[in-house]
Chains A and B, each alone.
Chain A
Amino acid sequence: MNTNRTLNVILGIYVALIFAFVFAPIIFSMIFSFNSQRFPTIPLGNFTTEWYAKILADPDVWEAALNSLIVSVSTAVIATFLGFCTAYSDFRYNFRFKGPYLALILLPPTIPLIIMALAMLAWFSKIGMSGQIYSIVIAHSVLTAPFAMAVIRLRLNQMDPDLESAAWNLGGSEWATMRHVIIPFCKPAILSGLFLTAAVSFDEFAVSWFVSGLNKTLPVIILEIVQGNIDPQVNAIGTFVFLISMTLVVLAQVFFASRQMKSMKS
């Protein structure tokens, strides 16, 4: 079929263009992070690791990296726990206002980040909790829990509802059943949720910038460097952040995909 082939070629080009638009800036940023010239221009200068050496020697960057790590790990744990609890309550129970309850939980990602960030800042200031690391963790948990919940809810929907009753029937208490049946069944989704929420939190700028105060995370420090002057260090940090986020997202996908394949097999 001729028309089909033409269409396929056009679609292929279209997809390639999208990928180019998304990834070209990142790739250029990576390339320039190894470029000896101070300004990002072509032709390129010599290959150098100077900028990496510089950021590794910068205590501010180290502190920001540590903050980012603490925030994203804590966020991942809290958000995935919350996500699991809401997904399970949806799976297990029927109650009045369940629809609005679920809608409310899924709401945060639909609010523009800048509004969310401002609201968080205003609220934290009001109750005297702003400018702390845990402020970022709380804000990020609210922001990312819906992602974890969505992934885990998908998994629970694949579960034979008799599985839980079967565990009770065989002498498992509610807690034992949670531990030996529900959690093992959801494990791939829980891991996927952990990596996904960690990645979102690690990247997130707006909310972090507003509520972080002096506890800057990596995205916040990147902005500060860019604001001051043009410095290829930004490219080096950006490369790190990108690699870490990508690793997390890929891991999340791997767990997501492996369980999909497994459930297709069975």
Chain B
Amino acid sequence: MSAPLVVFDKVQKHFGKFVAVKELDFEIREGEFLAIMGPSGCGKTTTLRMLAGLEAPTHGEIRLNGQVMNDVAPHERDTPLVWQSLALFPFLTARENVEFGLKMRGVDKAERKERALRWLEKMGILEFADRDISTLSGGQKQRVALARSLVMEPQILLLDEPLSALDAHLVIRMQAVLTDLQRELGITFVYVTHSQSEAFAMADRVIIMGKGEIAQIGTPKDIYREPANQFVAEFVGRNNILSGTVESVSKDTARITTPSGEFTVPTNEVRLIKGNKASFVISADLVHIAKDEPKGGNKAQCKLISEEFVGSMVTLFLEDAQGHEFKVQMQERELSKFDLKGGDKIWLSWDTQSAHVLNES
């Protein structure tokens, strides 16, 4: 693998007494689509702003192409950012907005115009080149903002929740535009978002942050199937978390007793000790339902509380006798075979290998 493009080396950021970023140690690889995700106030935007030079790290080093960036002024960096607020210049036309960075870099007028128009065309908004920013729609502004950053032909593009102001249907469209652009240009995208669907839909790797620290780094699939700890599991959602006491540990599996019953889980790098507390998760889409009690295996009897439809997928919300909530995600046509209604008792079951033991932290 080639050398990392960006290295965060023990980076901390304090605002007075408030610690926004506790300690960050990670690398960004050249050409990857990296999403940084977390709840608001987790330090994800601060991390991005440090990369752009808009905040200076209190401790540690940020290196770009091996060069220490801590003291490089924002305007001397080549790290264009797409802002949550878009931050388009309202007194300029769409084309003048796109030209702005080139103008600052001293590119001559004719070339500026030519490159700006080329990018506006690429983003499909050439016809709005001479329009005032205030007359454009949300999606068009979004494209101007992207063109304004990409016209700089950067090695790395930073995006700070760029889709948060758009309507849901536009978000899906822009996600496709962004992933296509990233593949085509081959440049590195660092995408900050609080939206799991955006991060998982687009990113090659995801960093989950919580309270100024990295909770987990991995591919969307890793994070979804094997959340490192309870924080990630809860943040990712759409899964069932069970906590209890370790009953017995064998070579490949362990038995955990929870208020909802006793279950078998596969062992992983998490050390399980008999008598200690332990938690594990099962993705909602890996849980099966049945009307009759299954023979053996991991099972729990639950009462159906409600259903939530998202397109052809449906999520069932259930409760066992102890009041513990379970979620099951399945295809709608799969569900229709069962003819269920609220209050029905059904059995849940899952393969041992579907469970994933969490780190206690």
- The contact of A266 among B73, B74, B90, by CB within 8 Å, is B90
Contact present for B54 and A185 (CB under 8 Å): no
Are A169 and B74 CB-contacts (below 8 A) given A160-B85, A163-B89, A181-B89? yes
Contact present for B91 and A185 (CB under 8 Å): yes
Are A162 and B104 CB-contacts (below 8 A) given A170-B148, A172-B75? no
Contact present for B90 and A162 (CB under 8 Å): no
| B271 at interface, CB cutoff 8 A | no
Are A171 and B83 CB-contacts (below 8 A) given A163-B89, A184-B91, A266-B90? no
| B52 at interface, CB cutoff 8 A | yes
Contact present for B75 and A162 (CB under 8 Å): no
Contact present for A170 and B100 (CB under 8 Å): yes
Contact present for B87 and A160 (CB under 8 Å): yes
Contact present for B74 and A168 (CB under 8 Å): yes
- The contact of B79 among A165, A166, A169, A177, by CB within 8 Å, is A169
- The contact of B54 among A169, A173, A177, A262, by CB within 8 Å, is A169
Are A266 and B75 CB-contacts (below 8 A) given A167-B104, A170-B152? no
Q: Which of A166-211 contact B (CB under 8 A)?
A: 166-174, 176-177, 180-181, 184-185, 187
| B14 at interface, CB cutoff 8 A | no
- Chain A nearest CB from B234 CB (Å) reads 31
Contact present for B91 and A171 (CB under 8 Å): no
Closest to A188 in B: B91
Q: Which residues of B contact A171 (CB under 8 A)?
A: 75-76, 101, 104-105, 152
Q: Which residues of B contact A173 (CB under 8 A)?
A: 73, 75, 104
- The contact of A165 among B87, B91, B104, B152, by CB within 8 Å, is B87
- Chain B nearest CB from A49 CB (Å) reads 46
Contact present for B79 and A185 (CB under 8 Å): no
- Offer 8 A-B interface pairs, CB within 8 angstroms, sorted by A: A162-B87, A165-B87, A169-B75, A169-B77, A171-B76, A171-B101, A177-B75, A187-B91
Chain B: residues with CB nearer than 8 A to chain A? Answer: 52-54, 73-77, 79-81, 83-85, 87, 89-92, 100-101, 103-105, 133-134, 148-149, 152
Chain A: residues with CB nearer than 8 A to chain B? Answer: 160, 162-163, 165-174, 176-177, 180-181, 184-185, 187, 262, 265-266
With contacts A160-B87, A185-B90, A187-B91 known, what are 18 further pairs, Cβ within 8 A?
Answer: A162-B83, A162-B87, A163-B89, A166-B87, A167-B100, A168-B74, A169-B52, A169-B80, A169-B81, A170-B75, A170-B149, A171-B75, A173-B75, A176-B75, A185-B91, A265-B134, A266-B133, A266-B134
